[in-house]
A and B are shown apart, each in its own frame.
Chain A
């Protein structure tokens, strides 16, 4: 009996995966759960186990090929030995369920009918159909009418200059591309394309606003200096500054839950769990592993979780769930000593905190000039649902939490 092996669902929004390497070849014997190939998606690389024991009978997707989730990538001729009944057992039944739910949700969204003229206008204005579907429709059953999309475009047009330069830039690029002797043409790989798409989508979806605050980290720096050696000996992991930030964010989000939500059409989904994504830049990609239930963890717990994620990110051993479900993100802008930056929101989240470099600066404390360890924190938030006042108060809470840190 032949068992189909399909491209697994590697995460909520992932629709396809690329075959990186087949570890087994046609005709090889494979055991159930034995790793037989590596695949890559825009979020994570994974090793995929065989769904059955038997002979790898057919390979239907070669290395480098990108296959839709659910597409058959191989067939395994399973053993017919008694007791080793060849069942088409699903490797991950739970994920299968999630996949089903996602498909039905997709269908619901598909019910949003777009008339020919709306599609045409969207195409002419470089608006994706997914973006069109975010417009509130005034037609029957909320249908998006021609005047709805025209209104949307004209209201967008007020911030158009950037859009226009964007377009101009791309035409310019097309023109230069012809003169290949003076330009090196680098086709974007799968991951780069996905990053590019995600960044553009996020900027188009959410009006980004960034607020910058300054915090005095002297207490934390002093504490860490004092405690880091014993901490490492005691717990087996390093005590990084990131741990302090994660702890402060988790605590501040509890007071400002709106920043821990996402926008779904005209509803706000406020998340009860606090899962903080930590943006980790690798050489060729950006990965955002997630610390789950960060608000339930102690500083030690956070440090341990961080160390684990860092190690597994470097070794490409992350599981799909390690990069899913983040509700707020943290990104370190200060790695090379940079002061602050304006990060892009990791959709569908509504906030991301960027941390600059911690530097010794002369500051005025109680009327005296003192040397303190200062840092700039920048919060980018989705201005659709977060007001400036709310963001400002969140930031001041963050500053207070960091400045008044106490080890107890």
Chain B
């Protein structure tokens, strides 16, 4: 057992998968000798060489397009976006090509796009976004968003082994803030399975990514101060959603708060809320509440960014509001 950060866990997953399977290779901007903007791929160039850790020009469209091409010929590319924000440059390649190839030609596209996402790092409007909802809307893509080091490792390994295009949103804020002891044995976390991060009976809190920790803080405080027991569900995989676990929890608690860092409107929370009202309306004792970032660009000003994003205090207040309903 050794302590690994979230970032190191990703690095380990890449290393292990490249070692296990020769068809796995990496491509992205400055990921080779430099080790990537965040040093996620540090050491991999040295270990596997320039043929398997490929530096690319600054063109996300080219990176994703190349990855698709490699994937349909039988390789397993892992493409890095330097920031998830810039994934839009390769948007068409992902939603029009990668997502539909299997449907059109029965050709699997076993590729992973790693997208460092998320705010709270004073990155402003181009380096802070959480663009998962755009891909959530496109059938044919899987979406993963780990919160813990263990899940970061286990989910990346599953993503690489999956035969569908997977977008893997790794949260920049968590890179070096989250640490945990990881076992020596291999960790593989299946896609499509959510995790209960905290058991509770009174209210279901559904979340993912960095907000898992804010929700856990809020839940702890609610239990200590108001004896409210909140069940915190970390979705881990956003597409496909683990509706089974969500509905089980809703049936138990009858109250739901959904938290995500991505902007509110058209977010994944909207879809979850809709499905709950369709499938578990009769179990609800209060309206489903969503907490998310404001519907604005991410502000530069630290003060405004704090206002813009959800945090433990806002979640705490929202849960309290729903409990008082």
Q: Which of chain B's residues have a CB closer than 8 A to the CB of A143?
A: 325
Bound CA span A283–B254, Å: 51
CB of B282 within 8 Å of the partner chain: yes
Contact with B along A393-406 (1 / 0, CB 8 A): 00000000000000
Count CB-based A-B contacts (< 8 Å).
27
Q: Which of chain A's residues have a CB closer than 8 A to the CB of B281?
A: 116
Is B283 in contact with A139, judged by CB distance below 8 angstroms? no
CB of A115 within 8 Å of the partner chain: yes
CB of A118 within 8 Å of the partner chain: yes
Bound CA span A145–B285, Å: 7
Q: Which of chain A's residues have a CB closer than 8 A to the CB of B286?
A: 115
Is A115 in contact with B284, judged by CB distance below 8 angstroms? yes
Q: Which residues of chain A from 98 to 144 have a CB within 8 Å of any chain B CB?
A: 115-120, 139-140, 143
Contact with B along A145-159 (1 / 0, CB 8 A): 110000000000000
Q: Which of chain A's residues have a CB closer than 8 A to the CB of B325?
A: 139-140, 143, 145
Given A117-B254, A146-B254, also A140-B285 (CB < 8 A): no
Q: Which of chain B's residues have a CB closer than 8 A to the CB of A120?
A: 282-283
Is A118 in contact with B285, judged by CB distance below 8 angstroms? yes
CB of B324 within 8 Å of the partner chain: yes
Q: Whole-angstrom distance from the CB of A183 to the nearest CB of chain B? A: 36
Bound CA span A140–B282, Å: 20
Bound CA span A116–B281, Å: 6
Is B282 in contact with A139, judged by CB distance below 8 angstroms? no
Is B324 in contact with A117, judged by CB distance below 8 angstroms? no
- Closest B residue to A113 by beta carbon equals B325
Q: Which residues of chain B from 252 to 274 have a CB within 8 Å of any chain A CB?
A: 254
Q: Which of chain A's residues have a CB closer than 8 A to the CB of B284?
A: 115-117
- Closest B residue to A118 by beta carbon equals B285
Bound CA span A140–B285, Å: 12
- Closest B residue to A141 by beta carbon equals B325
Q: Which of chain B's residues have a CB closer than 8 A to the CB of A119?
A: 282
Q: Which residues of chain A from 70 to 116 have a CB within 8 Å of any chain B CB?
A: 115-116
- Closest B residue to A148 by beta carbon equals B285
Interface centre among B254, B285, B324, B325 (most CB of A within 10 A): B285
Q: Whole-angstrom distance from the CB of A253 to the nearest CB of chain B? A: 43
Q: Which of chain B's residues have a CB closer than 8 A to the CB of A117?
A: 254, 282-285
Bound CA span A241–B84, Å: 93
Bound CA span A117–B325, Å: 13
Pick 10 A–B contacts, CB within 8 A, sort by A: A115-B284, A115-B285, A115-B286, A116-B282, A117-B282, A118-B285, A119-B282, A140-B324, A143-B325, A145-B325
Using a CB–CB cutoff of 8 Å, the interface residues on chain B facing chain A are: 254, 281-286, 324-325
**A117-B254, A120-B282 are known contacts; what are 4 more A-B pairs with Cβ within 8 Å?**
A115-B286, A117-B283, A117-B285, A140-B324
- Sort A-B residue pairs by CB-CB distance and give the 4 closest, nearest first: A146-B285, A120-B282, A117-B285, A115-B285
